[in-house]
Amino acid sequence: MQSYPAPALARVEQLAAQAAADPARAVSFQGAPGCNGHRAALEWAPACLPLPCFSFEDALEAVKDGRAGHAIIPIENSQHGRVADIHFLLPESDLRIVGEHFMPIHHALMALGDGPFSAAYSHPQALGQSRFFLRERGMVPLSYADTAGAAAYVAELGDPKVAAIAPKIAAELYGLKVIAENVEDAADNMTRFVVLAREGRDPASLGAGPMMTTFVFEVKNVPAALYKAMGGFATNGVNMTKLESYQKGASFSATTFYADIVGAPGDPAVDRALEELAFHCKELRMLGTYPQERARG
């Protein structure tokens, strides 16, 4: 908690105390009060008790330790790609994905002064999503742990020549002026969040609506293993909406894949596809089945 800038600490402590009184309703997120994770928690569960955490690891630990019933973590952005290294964090945490949430992202430039500004602080994702705006104005992008935390840090610095890029509400929370709104480079800027819990959801209990299933796998180290592993999804008509590779360990001899599919175990087509995948894998780990919030395709 002491890693937050001073202007954010009182709010962090207040929210943490409220969450501690009813952990089952708490939803942990990474960042200072007023960040996009805070917004996402309240959109996904309006009656929740938001629990700010300084890092993604801290947010997951809050669920593992029972201080929060759920965590909400940004996983990918339409403009700037992968957000959190959920590929590494989630398997290690032993948590399960139980939901997803899509949220439009709008950034504001805020500061103590009126400009011009020499630099802007924000989360690397927000800086990447606003890079043309910053470049046109000659502002140096400076990385900070989260967007609202950057706003609190600028307030703490007291330098009128530096700014922050954060959700508009952060300006009100930390006493900054909104200099410009919607500074993101794309109007359709969207982030997908996943919701995590200690226990997964039984696909049979999710009703008849569209579902998503997420898993990680490592194929056998033989020629065309990935091609063969993917064949079951094609032949069974299962839509794979996401497939990302990442290296596991320092040997660079084995690649692990993270995947999302439309459907759930229990569906004969999905079961056949997963069975064929498992045949070609050294490891297959299911991370969760959950309702689809937004249609794919």
Residue 204, burial from CB neighbour count under 10 angstroms (0-12, 13-18, 19+) = exposed
The DSSP output letter for 255 is E
Catalytic annotation present for 256: no
Rounded Cα gap, residues 19 and 152, in angstroms: 22
Which phi-psi region, left, alpha or beta, contains residue 158 (left: φ > 0; alpha: ψ -120 to 50)? left
224 three-state secondary structure? coil
Q: Which of 191, 213, 214, 256 is catalytic?
A: 191
First to last CA, the chain: 42
The 10 Å Cβ neighbour count of residue 171 is 24
Residue 247, burial from CB neighbour count under 10 angstroms (0-12, 13-18, 19+) = exposed
Catalytic annotation present for 191: yes
36-39: long-range pairs with CB below 8 Å, 24+: 36/74, 36/103, 36/105, 36/147, 36/167, 36/191, 37/72, 37/73, 37/74, 37/146, 37/193, 38/148, 39/103, 39/167, 39/169
Rounded Cα gap, residues 209 and 160, in angstroms: 51
* Residue for token pair 């950057």: 150
Q: Which residues contact 31 (CB under 8 A, 6 or more apart)?
A: 37, 38, 52, 53, 123, 145, 146, 147, 148, 149
Q: Which of 29, 54, 56, 193 is catalytic?
A: 193
The 10 Å Cβ neighbour count of residue 250 is 6
Rounded Cα gap, residues 110 and 166, in angstroms: 8
- Which residues are the active-site residues? 191, 193
